């Protein structure tokens, strides 16, 4: 079945540092999404990407839809303590309505 | 505008019982999705409903079922509960024309004892 490989699995960084995480897939998706999940909460949509090569920003977050449609990355600049959480990538296909999720990247920020 | 709401937030059931979880989508959204998030296993797709019809189903046994009502709210039913059904069950909704941009609720934590 379809799988997403998300890396790194976890990161422990100093406040103010930039962060980068990525997802790769063996399958093509026509949508890539990035979510953040805090403990005990549902995932919150951060960025949605719809076109190969698309680069989109949301505040300090920047994400790109890979040109092969099989990968995506998320960058967080100048990290702050509230960035702590688990970040998930997800690939979607409109004809299935199904999102395939990566395993998540746990981010910890040291003040 | 209210987001996706789920009830109950926590549910404790005994093995063999049935559980019913409820979801109200964002106003204007016609598609509802259910995902299971078991500890250490990530989010797994369960079901997709749109306009009252089941559109797609994940790799789960038939004892996982659901329905969507005319107001687009949805129920997930899990019959003959097993211990491994313990998980966070997440509902998401989307607009019909943007059906891969899904917004999630806070989830229902189901514990089977």
B23-78 confidence digits (pLDDT tens): 999 999 999 999 999 987 789 999 999 999 999 999 999 999 999 999 999 999 99
- Does pLDDT of A94 surpass 80? no
- Does pLDDT of B2 surpass 90? no
Under the banding of pLDDT at 50, 70 and 90, the label for residue A2 is: low
Residue B100 is encoded by which pair of tokens?
A: 């891969």
Burial class (CB in 10 A: 0-12, 13-18, 19+), A104: buried
pLDDT for B38 equals 92
- Give the pairing of strands B108-112 and B10-13: parallel
Which backbone phi and psi does B96 adopt, to 5 degrees?
Answer: -55, -40
- Give the pairing of strands B5-7 and A19-25: unpaired
DSSP reduced 3-state for A83: helix
- Does pLDDT of B1 surpass 70? no
What is the percent of chain B where pLDDT is above 90? 88
Residues in chain B with CB shorter than 8 Å from the CB of A104 are 42
pLDDT tens string B89-108: 999 999 876 667 899 999 99
pLDDT tens string A7-57: 999 999 999 999 999 999 999 998 999 999 998 899 999 999 999 999 999
- Does pLDDT of A1 surpass 80? no
Q: Cβ of A97 and B33 within 8 Å? A: yes
Q: Say if CB A101 and CB A22 are below 8 A apart.
A: no
Q: Cβ of B56 and A97 within 8 Å? A: yes
pLDDT for B98 equals 65
Q: Cβ of A103 and B59 within 8 Å? A: no
B45 closest CB neighbour out of A94, A98, A103: A98
């Amino acid at each position: 079945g379809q799988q997403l490989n998300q890396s790194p699995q976890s990161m422990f960084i100093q406040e103010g540092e930039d962060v980068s995480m990525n997802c790769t897939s063996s399958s093509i998706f026509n949508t890539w999404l990035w979510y953040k999940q805090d403990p005990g909460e549902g995932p919150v949509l951060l960025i949605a990407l719809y076109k190969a090569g698309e680069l989109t920003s949301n505040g300090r977050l920047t994400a790109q839809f890979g040109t092969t449609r099989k990968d995506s990355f998320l960058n967080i600049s100048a990290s702050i303590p509230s960035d702590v959480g688990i970040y998930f990538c997800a690939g979607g296909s409109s004809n299935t309505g199904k999102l395939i999720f990566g395993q998540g990247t746990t981010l910890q920020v040291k003040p | 505008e209210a987001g996706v709401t789920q009830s109950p937030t926590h549910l404790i059931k005994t093995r063999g019982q049935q559980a019913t979880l409820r979801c109200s989508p964002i106003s204007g959204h016609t598609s509802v999705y259910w995902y299971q998030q078991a500890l250490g296993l990530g989010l797994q797709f369960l079901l997709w409903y749109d306009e009252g019809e089941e559109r797609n189903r994940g790799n789960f046994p038939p004892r996982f079922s659901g329905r969507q009502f005319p107001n687009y709210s949805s129920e997930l039913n899990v019959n003959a509960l097993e211990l491994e059904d313990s998980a966070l069950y997440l509902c998401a909704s989307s607009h019909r024309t943007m059906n891969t941009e899904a917004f999630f609720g806070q989830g229902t934590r189901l514990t089977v004892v």
